[in-house]
Structure 1
């Protein structure tokens, strides 16, 4: 028996022992993560101007959840949840940055020894948490990090290779060299795929370019295309960035086709958080990034695996923390018990789930060891009802918000005073899920 055949035999035996679905060969896994893009800013989601032909094609080939959500609408905690399958209050990466040192901002803060030590402690959380690269590594997967990454060197996430070095003196805050991917070509990603193929190893690719993320610097050809229809220059730039990102996704998907890998690869897509473009500045508008509103937390989620997943559209609410258990089940691994997400390929489990939950934190943590200290809001969705419950320690002048998303998708009418019983019901669900009490170590 060859080593390759032996590996397949052992993999099948492990899958059967775990009670997981057994496939002849575990799939390669490609994770595509958009950076700061609203859930409706794709042509397949109904945008009247933005063109995303490559992601449109992927949506037709995928199990597409139109009501996907991330638990937290800020880059670092959201990406950490995708990679670990844990909520931010579990992995403790609740914020983009540590608390600011007294009297210091900007470069002075980043050079402060205490601030740097706190950053290192935040990064160390990845070493303590389960992660997709670590789990897949037990089955012989090569893994590659390309794009946004807040966890220091790529090895902290369990990747076997990557672009981000994590040196704070060389732009190591959220990606350094990794931020070149997409904007400056796809060479590193293609080289990784080709190497894994040549070595006949299964692979996991984290493709999370800083696109369409600010700074919005699209190619002139795309900017000119959208200036004719956009109401302002800033909106035209953002729309053009969305199409530029789509082009890079097309290059990646085409490369899988050209290498004969598409049928053996599970492709997953989502955005890390939403974005509503400020019409007059290169920044986001309210009720999007960092907010608990639909413009901040909602994203389409797509899963393609030809021959194994039937393409269809679902309106069932799902979460980004569901992706890790889905991937692990597909390769025959049992998800760790701390993962609260579902296998999205288990239709019955998805249908049985009654509610989903999330949490919004301050941009800079208040106490990196106590998630509740940085909490701004918790949110819950049950069917079409959505509750946003503020945390008094960081949002003292706000009250609970209740929305009927079926009739008010823009969240314009707060129904909390009209339906106090619904508020109390959803609040009870939230407190059962996470009571948001201090858990400082």
Structure 2
């Protein structure tokens, strides 16, 4: 099944890129030439860079090589998605534009057609042809109907669509598609590099004491420090969190994409967090050396909650490892984190993936804080994320348990977001007791 899926994915990828090349380069040029070859190099080269960036990151290649490949490779991933979507949308516009041009051409031809001469009106005298213009007997004979079957036939429209008009339409549609894709990716990349915006959400908890009303938890997930997002980005995230003046900070996984050796300096600004800060692993930590990162965040002043719980003055704060840790014998253990707690106290759980909500419900958790989905990151990726997660973004209730899913602060792969802006969420707990 894996081989079949891989072959199917490869077929779709090749077909999609051939279609892009055809619409953007072949259909916009006259005959084989330099631009068609340039187009083939651009499309194929972009995917080679993208695949190289993915392989370099996962294989632990030298960090300078990861950085070299990441920007062009990952940006091509995003750009190719929106080029394909824009070109497909252009298929709707293409026939409409062609008909408009054909109608305009017919209107212009009708305007230029000479008016008929009224009956009885004197006709203009024909000019006497010059000797050079007078046809010779031999030429007249060769142009006679007997020798030519088309000499007396009127000029008619060329068979099929006008090639020049078809070329013009292809160029307009391709140019518009390229402009739309570049603009979309450019704006989406600017949104990520600018840094996450603060989102505020009030969550009422039935068991929360009145004295804890208004307690603020800054939730940040999916920072994804790596080859594209480095120390400067981490500093913006930390400054934004500190600016909200939370009571505690919850870092709910996917902090990094790389080793402590390569990204330790990038994560250093986390030591500047002013409020007590807690951390749980995400799936990407297990691609990057989870044990080393747990120790590194501890050194930076954060408290890792590895299937553990801490009792805060007004509620319990618990954390479980990510599901990806199961392959290393470090998976989530809800019983260890929650089994012996006082169930009369409110409980807030940090768990990277929203799918862990079902275990949270079984263990009587009041509020689970998660990330992982990125809100889809690149539209229409939100539909894919919705198929794999119970909640893609925002606050939802599952029985007596509420689940809040952050869209995340950073981005994985392309440093780009479309339709899923990055956020740091300040959860304000509200007591329901009078």
TM range (shorter): under 0.3
Query: Greater helix share, 1 or 2?
Result: 2
Task: Give the TM-score normalised by the residue count of structure 1.
Answer: 0.25
TM-score by length of 2: 0.26
Rg (Cα) greater in structure: 2
